Structure 1
């Protein structure tokens, strides 16, 4: 049975479906309550091509970092991302309530997360996400964004596993989670980076990304989830 918040959500243009003629992005994240482990998976559609990025970050372990910024958009199903030696998918199982987050690809294993802001070269490591994201609250409209985009965030939990060659699977059960869905009003308008709370001089688990438009997303994990890292 659909929960009350799911049945009453999606009003005012806030919904899970595509917004044709826009640059559009979905980001899913989850973390351990003790901030020792975090996972993130993002997907942005820009006309005929898409960006895909993901990471598994763990205390005391190399960052497992995934990016493909030139993936042809599949017209039949834009949520399927098929790049070179990569398959990924964000599947909406129930509007505003449940998504499946999956991939099978090679991650770059980076001893120093800072390398992700450069060329991102690391040891190729087979990895697979098999995660289920469930909402636990109604969506919340994002504050006005500098890039004039609109969208929402929604709290949830994640269940599932992440398989890494040569390691025991990482199991997530009722892990705290969040997702974001943002879009612009036109395909020719830029979409800036997701604005998150700032963590100053934080040395915890980290997952940085550099994007083709020159933007950077330098994320650090706190007990409240992913924040933007600042050194000042």
Structure 2
């Protein structure tokens, strides 16, 4: 690919340049809001045909991207790539402020708002603002008098969905998996499996930088931050 191709098609709005006219035309939809590709099933529109194609898999159920580790399939390649990081433990996106690592760029983007204080989603009823749209939608429920969440076990009612979820934990069965060594109990077999490493000394997660090993992947990720901080100090000297 010739990286020196002349970019002679300039956007009048943001002055970004493109090597081909059709690329400029596609870019202009960001500014105009034009979405000429509607979904024939639900009517949702998109600015690019490729985006419509990906969206259409929601309706067809097509999931062409399969994980070669666990076999789980995904409609979009990006979702598969994010999923694979669960197996590898890779977290390539790091926060320049606190050094925390993330598996997805979008999660880092949302995390940055904890440092900037940005809350771009205001409630149009009471004016309270939120950093994420999800938090806003959850908040708006408190302004509705007609919405009630009912526990199917005891019929107790709540006006907030997350309050119902907290209540549902009281109906969960007792912890069923007991440790044969210390008799500690767990409600999930996987939690018992992780706990047993305390007794066996198994440490399957090894740091590639200093060979230190850990019993849990989360502990390895936390340890990796120490190397990131050390590197930052060396660079700043």
The TM-score with structure 2 as length reference comes to: 0.16
**Structure showing the higher strand proportion among its residues:** 1
With a CA cutoff of 8 Å and minimum separation of 6, indicate the structure with the bigger relative contact order: 1
**Structure showing the higher helix proportion among its residues:** 2
The structure with the largest alpha-carbon Rg is: 2
